A and B are shown apart, each in its own frame.
Chain A
Amino acid sequence: MVAINIDRFVKRYGALEVVHDISFDIEEGEFLVLVGPSGCGKSTILRMVAGLEEISGGELRMQGVRVNELSPKERQVAMVFQDYALYPHMSVEQNIGFSLELARVPKAEREAQVKRVADILQIGHLLERRPRELSGGQRQRVAIGRAMVRKPQLFLFDEPLSNLDAKLRAEMRGQIKRLHQTLKTTSMYVTHDQLEAMTLADRIICLFDGHIAQMGTPHDLFDRPANVFVAEFIGSPTMNIVPITASKAEGRTVLTLAGGGEVSLPDGTALPSLTNDGNVLAGIRPEHLSDTPTPGATARIEGVIDMLEPLGSDILVTMQVGGATLTARCTDKGQFQAGQNLTLHFDPARLHLFDSKTQMRLG
């Protein structure tokens, strides 16, 4: 069932339009993540849904009813802010219970509700403290508690983890995921961290400059990026994208790199129909490049090792090939040295091709 319709959203600040005609739905109970680089309009869309930002154009429907004109409270949304926005002069208990207090919930019931939420979040022992006496992770939990206690129709998160260190971020990410699996509240989550998006989302919307670049499951975006932007944004380390020319020679397809290097594709590789006389962009993820031939028909590409970045068990190998730079993620057995010649292998099915002008995916 569709819980939320975002119908042709437009946001203007004066003459400046920052969100351009964006539409999508959120299913009941779904965890939707908006991801994109800084300034692409993620927060703006979230805040339009929350009711903190006026909707310049388009319609917001919740359970099929237009709510553009309703206040945040009437929309029954709860929000977790990036800087937590805890009330500094109130205790943790008052912070969590504030919305109930404003709604004139009797004291006894309010305390019970706050206690229930605090126990789920394991902050029951902190109820008397003030926000500034809490660690970052504890503050984050209080902020989530404050949102949870209202039993909202929709949870909104605006980069809730970006102020935490890497370890705590991973931990809180897990906690948010578990919470959602228990509560099943429809959620909309904004982040610029593609890893957070991949791990949390049922569905991801990747935004670029106020437009939707792609919408789909984490797998869709990772395996079949719709354009160069998504291909480069999702996945770490970033996908290698190089301009190539594809041509047929003696019935085989040969990909020629701009600097002259060649990629030989195995027989029978089917490429999508190409545009611009075969001048296209080819993309391959570093983890899909290997220094050892994999079973089956693989494509090969030769070059010279330029730089090595050990990651522990893996190593990032940067290779110069015919004027282009490729990065591969390989298992580190100490076999690499800068300046060496290297042949990398890949499964042609892992190759992504994009139109060099429109930057859109081919095939």
Chain B
Amino acid sequence: MRRLNPAAILMLVPTHLLLLVVIALPSIYVFWLSLNESTYGSDLTFVGLDNYVTVLTSSYFWRAALNTLIVVNAVVYIELLIAIGMAALFLGGVRYPKIMFAIVLMPYAISEVVGVLVWKIMLNSGSGVLARTIESLGFGMFNWSVSPPLALSVVTLISIWHHLPFTFLLIYAGMLAIPKSLYEAARIDGATPWQEFWRITLPLTIPAILISLIFRFVFAFRLFSEVWLLTAGGPARLTEVLAVYLYQSGFKYGEFGTASATGWLMVIGSLGVASIYLWAMHRRMLKGND
């Protein structure tokens, strides 16, 4: 292996220090917290894995975990499908591409909180423009705030709306990188547009798809503001997701130990998901499949 020269090390130091201070040290401290009982105004008491036991035996935690699992998977995969479809559309050429592009990217430029609140107003049962439209179409009262499945569907919808531009960009960039001459060769070989998509575009976009899946799973796992601003986990803690559960234990019930334990459980969960996709990517690279 090549030895790093001192100047190179010196230049890497600031970044590493920063990472140490904002990521490594807090993580270690949070891990230490998760092994202690702790609340406002009291000293830490070492309790071993008790906090993990408390969390893992809490029905609220499992409800939140299940909600997270469902919402995250729905968000990531639906978003991926829409992004692939839209990227393929853009690749085939759309009218007024610059304007269309700006429109598609717009949600990403809107602050998350503002976006969620506007959706909330539009979906407000009885007064919101979308809710009233749905009601006037004869679907009955659109009362998502009392129906956990409906509320989580709304959360899913808003989350997809907000993050779609990110996934779209990654996938579209991946598709743009495919040389045009491959499509020409395929046309000469007799491929229909549909076959071009399935046999050329999609297989060559898989690396971009895997990357966007990793990013989105890890991001989506932290899902918080959509739920917090829409339902705050209610009714009866039925729509909580893991991040909301964590927030509740930490800041509503003041149990920093269990909140920290939840935090570490979330990290392990998202690492688990990410590692599946990283492994898939690694395998493709070994096979020389990109």
A residues whose Cβ falls under 8 Å from a Cβ of B: 50-52, 71-73, 77-79, 81, 83, 85-89, 98-99, 102-103, 130, 132-133, 146, 150
Do B204 and A78 have beta carbons less than 8 Å apart? no
Q: How many whole Å from A143's CB to the nearest CB in chain B?
A: 9
Q: How many whole Å from B186's CB to the nearest CB in chain A?
A: 8
23 of the cross-chain contacts (CB-CB < 8 Å) are: A50-B188, A72-B188, A73-B188, A73-B189, A78-B188, A79-B188, A81-B184, A81-B185, A83-B181, A85-B181, A85-B182, A85-B184, A85-B185, A86-B185, A87-B182, A98-B189, A98-B199, A102-B189, A130-B288, A130-B289, A146-B185, A146-B189, A150-B189
- B54 part of interface (Cβ distance < 8 Å): no
- Cα–Cα, bound, A98→B203 (Å): 15
Q: How many whole Å from B206's CB to the nearest CB in chain A?
A: 8
- B179 part of interface (Cβ distance < 8 Å): yes
- B195 part of interface (Cβ distance < 8 Å): yes
- Cα–Cα, bound, A76→B186 (Å): 13
Other A-B pairs, 16, CB within 8 Å; known A79-B188, A87-B186, A98-B186: A50-B188, A72-B188, A73-B190, A79-B184, A81-B184, A81-B185, A85-B179, A86-B185, A87-B185, A88-B182, A88-B290, A89-B204, A98-B199, A99-B190, A132-B288, A133-B288
- Cα–Cα, bound, A130→B290 (Å): 11
Do B289 and A89 have beta carbons less than 8 Å apart? yes
Most A C-beta atoms less than 10 A away, residue of B185, B186, B190: B185
Chain A residues whose CB sits within 8 angstroms of the CB of B181 once the complex forms: 81, 83, 85
Q: How many whole Å from A322's CB to the nearest CB in chain B?
A: 51
Chain A residues whose CB sits within 8 angstroms of the CB of B185 once the complex forms: 79, 81, 85-87, 146
Interface size range on B against A? 10 to 19
Do B179 and A83 have beta carbons less than 8 Å apart? yes
Q: How many whole Å from A210's CB to the nearest CB in chain B?
A: 22
Chain B residues whose CB sits within 8 angstroms of the CB of A99 once the complex forms: 188-190
- Cα–Cα, bound, A77→B199 (Å): 21
Do A102 and B204 have beta carbons less than 8 Å apart? no
Chain A to chain B: the 4 pairs with minimum beta-carbon distance, closest first: A73-B190, A99-B189, A85-B181, A85-B185
- B66 part of interface (Cβ distance < 8 Å): no
Q: Which of A52, A83, A89, A102 contacts B195 (CB 8 A)?
A: A102
Q: Which of A71, A73, A88 contacts B204 (CB 8 A)?
A: A88
Q: How many whole Å from A268's CB to the nearest CB in chain B?
A: 58
Do B182 and A72 have beta carbons less than 8 Å apart? no
Most A C-beta atoms less than 10 A away, residue of B179, B186, B189, B203: B189
User: B263-287: which have CB < 8 Å to A?
Assistant: none
Q: Which of A52, A83, A87 contacts B200 (CB 8 A)?
A: A87
Chain A residues whose CB sits within 8 angstroms of the CB of B16 once the complex forms: none
Chain A residues whose CB sits within 8 angstroms of the CB of B195 once the complex forms: 102
Most A C-beta atoms less than 10 A away, residue of B184, B187, B188: B188
User: B154-201: which have CB < 8 Å to A?
Assistant: 179, 181-182, 184-191, 195, 199-200
Most A C-beta atoms less than 10 A away, residue of B199, B203, B290: B199
Do B190 and A89 have beta carbons less than 8 Å apart? no
Chain B residues whose CB sits within 8 angstroms of the CB of A73 once the complex forms: 187-190
- Cα–Cα, bound, A133→B188 (Å): 24
Do A72 and B187 have beta carbons less than 8 Å apart? yes
Chain A residues whose CB sits within 8 angstroms of the CB of B203 once the complex forms: 89
Chain B: CB-nearest residue to A97: B189
- Cα–Cα, bound, A214→B181 (Å): 30
Chain A residues whose CB sits within 8 angstroms of the CB of B179 once the complex forms: 83, 85
- Cα–Cα, bound, A70→B191 (Å): 14
Do A102 and B187 have beta carbons less than 8 Å apart? no
Q: Which of B190, B200, B204 contacts A103 (CB 8 A)?
A: B190
Chain B residues whose CB sits within 8 angstroms of the CB of A150 once the complex forms: 189
Q: How many whole Å from A158's CB to the nearest CB in chain B?
A: 9
Q: How many whole Å from B192's CB to the nearest CB in chain A?
A: 8
- Cα–Cα, bound, A133→B289 (Å): 11
Chain A: CB-nearest residue to B190: A73
Chain B: CB-nearest residue to A147: B188
- Cα–Cα, bound, A156→B188 (Å): 11
Q: How many whole Å from B201's CB to the nearest CB in chain A?
A: 11
- Cα–Cα, bound, A50→B187 (Å): 10
- Cα–Cα, bound, A351→B217 (Å): 77
Chain B residues whose CB sits within 8 angstroms of the CB of A98 once the complex forms: 186, 189, 191, 199
- Cα–Cα, bound, A132→B289 (Å): 10
Q: How many whole Å from B106's CB to the nearest CB in chain A?
A: 31
Chain A: CB-nearest residue to B185: A85
Q: How many whole Å from B188's CB to the nearest CB in chain A?
A: 5
Chain B residues whose CB sits within 8 angstroms of the CB of A87 once the complex forms: 182, 185-186, 199-200
Q: How many whole Å from A279's CB to the nearest CB in chain B?
A: 49
Chain B: CB-nearest residue to A143: B185
Chain A: CB-nearest residue to B183: A85
Q: How many whole Å from B202's CB to the nearest CB in chain A?
A: 10
Do A77 and B188 have beta carbons less than 8 Å apart? yes
Q: How many whole Å from A138's CB to the nearest CB in chain B?
A: 16
Chain A residues whose CB sits within 8 angstroms of the CB of B190 once the complex forms: 72-73, 99, 102-103
Q: How many whole Å from B92's CB to the nearest CB in chain A?
A: 16
- Cα–Cα, bound, A88→B290 (Å): 8
Do B187 and A71 have beta carbons less than 8 Å apart? yes
- Cα–Cα, bound, A74→B82 (Å): 34
- Cα–Cα, bound, A81→B182 (Å): 10
Chain B: CB-nearest residue to A73: B190
